[in-house]
Amino acid sequence: MQSTTGRTDAYASATEWLTSDEAARYLKIERRTLLQWVRQGKVRAYILSGTQRHVWRFKTSDLDAMLSVPAVLSIDGRIK
């Protein structure tokens, strides 16, 4: 992945910051689903300070880590 500085190494992709729209596209989900997952603690997000509303930013490395966690089925067959 190429960063804004033109670097294409692992460091650049591990530190790339995304908006909620970009993160939702990255995960191939709807933005409202992503924000629901943030509120549920399923996705790590960072709030920008100094704003009156919550403005979220996401690291691609956090999104990749979330995707690599195996799902666990409960006794009733639902994913936890």
CATH of the domain at 53: 1.10.1660
Count how many domains the chain has.
Answer: 1
**Is residue 43 included in any domain, yes or no?**
yes
CA 71, CA 63: separation in Å to the nearest integer?
Answer: 15
**Is residue 78 included in any domain, yes or no?**
no
At CB < 8 A and 24+ separation, what contacts does 49-56 make?
A: 56/19, 56/20, 56/23
**Is residue 80 included in any domain, yes or no?**
no
**Is residue 3 included in any domain, yes or no?**
no
- The overall pTM is greater than 0.85: no
Q: CA-CA distances (angstroms) from residue 35 to 6, 14, 27, 38? A: 30, 21, 12, 5
Q: Read off the pLDDT of residues 7-50 as tens digits, 9 standing for 90 and up.
A: 445 544 556 899 999 999 999 999 999 999 999 998 999 988 77
Sign of CA dihedral 56, 70, 8, 27: negative
